[in-house]
A and B are shown apart, each in its own frame.
Chain A
Amino acid sequence: NAGVTQTPKFQVLKTGQSMTLQCAQDMNHEYMSWYRQDPGMGLRLIHYSVGAGITDQGEVPNGYNVSRSTTEDFPLRLLSAAPSQTSVYFCASRPGHVNTEAFFGQGTRLTVV
């Protein structure tokens, strides 16, 4: 089982560049989320989706876009990278009903210079 797959694992961007972080899950989970992890800040929710075609903003959505055209994929787009977006990004998925374990990808370490 692949679970939740994030690509790439590491990325360096220049300020102003755009890029897409990929997230795919093979568990047919309805819910998918993107988090960023920064020292002393924990994991903060960027965007989430409760099903294909449905997305919503989390705690820190500015500078990021998402879409959910299929159940399996939930890409995160950085439109114009800024140094403040240097972070470790995690994608997570879980089944639709509550009290279910969330499964996480291995994370993407992004550095914006």
Chain B
Amino acid sequence: AQTVTQSQPEMSVQEAETVTLSCTYDTSESNYYLFWYKQPPSRQMILVIRQEAYKQQNATENRFSVNFQKAAKSFSLKISDSQLGDTAMYFCAFMNTDKLIFGTGTRLQVFP
């Protein structure tokens, strides 16, 4: 069975600084996809970034980028130039053909 582990329950960062959220996963599959979702206080789930396992190039979306280490089964999210609106829960997620499995989440607080 696949598992997703987020070892940082809470993180904080000052506005305009950079923060990295960690995620590791376990799977025996070779073809899968990884995602980071954001959940602000509104409870809405928002896709931040996605990575295809067969692509070596790390995905980037504006201020958000990932460090994907397939051999280490690691998928960290870097947020550059943090903004107050980045305050939210962040979930790492693993997807295979059928299932989308989430980690336990990291609560990120951005301070002015």
Contacts and interface: CB of A to CB of B under 8 A. Distances in A.
B99 A48 contact: yes
A98 B53 CA distance: 12
Interface string B22-47: 00000000011101000000011101
Nearest to B102: A43
Nearest to A4: B45
Interface residues of A, number: 25
By secondary structure, the A interface counts as strand
Interface residues of B, number: 24
Give chain B's interface secondary structure class: loop
B43 A48 contact: no
A104 interface: yes
Interface in B32-84: 32-33, 35, 43-45, 47, 50, 52
Given A104-B45, A106-B43, A106-B44, A33 B104 contact: no
Nearest to B34: A99
Contacts of B105: 42
Pairs of residues from A and B, 5 with the lowest C-beta to C-beta distance, nearest first: A42-B104, A104-B45, A43-B102, A99-B33, A42-B102
Interface of B: 6, 9, 31-33, 35, 43-45, 47, 50, 52, 91, 95-105
Given A42-B6, A43-B91, A58-B99, 9 more contacts: A40-B9, A42-B103, A45-B99, A56-B98, A90-B45, A94-B100, A99-B50, A101-B35, A102-B47
